[in-house]
Each structure stands twice: as C-alpha cells, then as structure tokens.
C-alpha cells in the first residue's frame, strides 16, 4: 500500500518518508511518528492501517539527520542503538527534527486536515508538534516518553490532544501521568492496564485489548477533528 518518498525540510535537507495512500479520496492526512526503532515494519504497518481507514499516512524518518536508513528490531541491542540515536537527535541544533515533522505535515496536508500520532519517542515529538508546529488539527501521543516531565508539561498545545498511557509503564509513572492530566484538563488522557509499547505487536509488551480500545478512541478522535 505504501512506498518511500523524499520530503524537503525548511533548511533544504531531504528526508525519506514512508507514504501510504488510501484507495479512494482521502479523508485527510495522518503523520505517523516512529519509536526509537526507525520506520520499521511495525511503523509501516501503522501507516498502512491509517491508509486503510481512508487517510493519507506519512511516516518521516526522524533519525535521518543522525543516521540514514535506520530499521531496528526490539532486542536489547536494538534498544541500546535506538536510545543512542534518540540522544543524538535530541542534541541536534534547534529546530532539529521538528522541521522534518513540519515537512511531513505539509505533505499530509495535500489530503486536507492533518492529524499526528506518535509512539514512545514519537509520542514526545507528537506532543511537541501539537504545541509548536503549524498545520495540525489533532494530535495523539502514545506513551510519550518525557511528555509528563515538568518541562514538557509546561508546554501548551495549540490543537486537540488525546494521550494514551499504560499503568505498568516503568518509564512513565502513573503519578506523572496524573500531574500531566491535572495541568492539562483540555487534553483527553486515557490510562490502560498495559506496559510501555503496548500498541506494537512485535514487542513482548503488546496488549491486544489496550491496542484495540486505544485505536477505536484514536480513530473516533481523528474522525471528529480531521475527517
């Protein structure tokens, strides 16, 4: 259903993105932001699922500026490599990869209104996009690592946000989720009986029940705000 294309960021950098196109007229666009494992088979499948729901789905390779063609699995060595790539990406001079996400939003905007969804590190970038970027109509971070820290809580979203967290997530405490929720009553926050990465069926933490419910809520949210 999808294929890779090249996006151009504001600074002229070319960024690969996996683009999945719906069969009929698009309902709108969805930007899909990867975990720390690259635009791998799981992220491509997520984009394909949104295309099957009628959206033009765009998944930019957000590690491209630090290392091209990243496609990792979920073993301990992959986790270590992904964390190093995240650290290198976070260390880029501002605006860093946010301009790559902005380019993806522009591409997705060909289809109409645009939503953004991201997982793990991508969830954090999705939150930042909701607060800082142009051209979005809705944002859905899944277990965004760092979203519930004081610095990120201090941000103010410019578009409606739906946030998914797992109550067994060792990286994001329930207390910090509650603090985020209290600071942002305008954000729809859901907590699932699940671990970090529960949406990924290639990880040991996959939780089918939480995935199904979060997906239903996300699709309803995008139907309301994107189309």
Active centre residues (catalytic): 120, 169, 196
State the Cα–Cα distance between residues 46 and 40, nearest whole angstrom.
10
State the Cα–Cα distance between residues 210 and 83, nearest whole angstrom.
25
SS3 state of residue 41: helix
How does DSSP classify residue 93? P
Nearest CA among 193, 126, 132 for reference residue 162? 126
| Token pair for 20 | 């999945």
State the Cα–Cα distance between residues 20 and 51, nearest whole angstrom.
6
β-pairing verdict for 114-119 and 55-60 = unpaired
Task: Report yes or no: 58 and 47 within 8 Å, Cβ to Cβ.
Answer: yes
Task: State how far Cα 176 lies from the chain centre.
Answer: 20
Q: DSSP assignment of 14-29, as one string?
A: EEEEEEE--SSS-SEE
Backbone angles phi, psi at 210, to 5 degrees: -65, -40
Q: What is the largest CA-CA distance in the chain?
A: 44
């Amino acid at each position: 259903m999808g294929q890779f294309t090249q996006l151009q960021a504001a600074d002229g950098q070319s960024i690969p993105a996996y683009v999945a196109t719906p069969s009929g007229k698009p309902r709108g666009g969805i930007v899909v932001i990867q975990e720390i494992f690259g635009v791998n088979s799981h992220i491509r499948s997520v984009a394909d699922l949104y295309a099957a729901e009628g959206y033009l789905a765009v998944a930019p390779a957000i590690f491209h500026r630090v290392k091209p063609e990243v496609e990792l699995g979920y073993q301990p060595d992959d986790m270590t490599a992904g964390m190093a790539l995240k650290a290198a990406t976070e260390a880029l001079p501002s605006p860093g990869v946010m301009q790559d996400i902005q380019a993806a939003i522009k591409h997705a905007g060909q289809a109409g209104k645009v939503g953004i969804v991201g997982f793990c590190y991508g969830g954090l970038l999705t939150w930042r996009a909701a607060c800082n970027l142009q051209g979005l109509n809705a944002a859905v971070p899944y277990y965004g690592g760092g979203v519930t820290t004081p610095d990120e809580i201090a941000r103010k979203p410019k578009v409606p946000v739906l946030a998914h967290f797992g109550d067994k997530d060792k990286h994001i405490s329930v207390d910090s989720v509650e603090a985020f929720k209290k600071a942002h009553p305008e954000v729809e926050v859901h907590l699932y009986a699940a671990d970090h990465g529960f949406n990924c069926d290639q990880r040991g933490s996959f939780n089918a029940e939480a995935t199904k419910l979060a997906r239903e809520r996300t699709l309803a949210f995008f139907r309301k705000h994107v189309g």
